[in-house]
Structure 1
Amino acid sequence: MLTIINADLHNEQHAHDVLAMLNSYAQDPMGGGEALSDYCQKNLINELKTRNTVRVVLAYAGDQAAGLAICIEGFSTFACKPLLNIHDFAVHPDFRSQHIGVRMMEHITRLAVELGYCKITLEVLERNLPARQLYLKQGFATYELDPAMGGAIMMQKKLN
């Protein structure tokens, strides 16, 4: 039986499952291929607890964690409303191809509507074709303001 919940990071089991799922995702090629640092594993849950704009969703197949989404509120200046960014989204390899990602996306969409967000955003690697197909089927599209200017490109500048 599949259950999708809004995680409570004060619940020890939820906190453990968030770290385990995120570490599994980090070790996947689509997550960078390296385990979370000791620092991250030690401090992440406490740091997330201090941020009231973080929403964490867990999927359970029976009592086993099967999926994770960490979402962070942002703000759309053009809409003058909050938005929800899916920062991390992963289904454990043992549970892929079971529509868990679809159910998690449906849950996140309902949550975003309930909380009054104007849109949901995310980033995905170009060659992560299964994830891209999921997102397209869920109504996501590449971001562009004017087709003549092309689509937005995700960029980063690492500071550490």
Structure 2
Amino acid sequence: MTEDLRVKLGRSQVESLQQGDPHARFKPENMIAAIEAFKAGDRRPEPRFPVVINSPGGDGPLDSPEKLQKLADLPSVPEVSKSRITDFMGGYDGDEVQIADVTWEQLLLLEERTEREEIMVWFPDATTKKPIPRYACVVKSVKEKFRGTETDSERQGEVKDGDMDEKAVTTTHSG
């Protein structure tokens, strides 16, 4: 009887997938509509990657949004929100952390300038806006050659906040 239930469930899932046209987005009318929307300025939002502002212990070189702005050469101070550390399946709510988000290029700058480890945090999905588990890298230190050096923003006179220290910075990858 258990096998019958599995077969019925599997069949219903396959049938529901088969009802939709898998090639619908490639039909000429849909492609033309997508091209026209692109020409009109409609763009997909740029992928964002969460950055943990404070580690669970609360100390680190990235303990304020201003320090993230300096380290990642952000044009302005990032907006910060609260999140929680979780596990891969989202079944664990751990310590509360503050997160901001950065672009891919800014994330690469953080990876170049810091030593880090990965954790998972709740982060809003770009499409549904519902929180989902996303990988986050907790940076343990700023690399020696980037300590106390001017960033691109400082050279342009945009950021004048205090210098980075050796504590903990955090960044994330899309997951």
What TM-score comes out, normalization by structure 1 length? Answer: 0.23
Higher helix share: 1
Larger radius of gyration: 2
What TM-score comes out, normalization by structure 2 length? Answer: 0.22
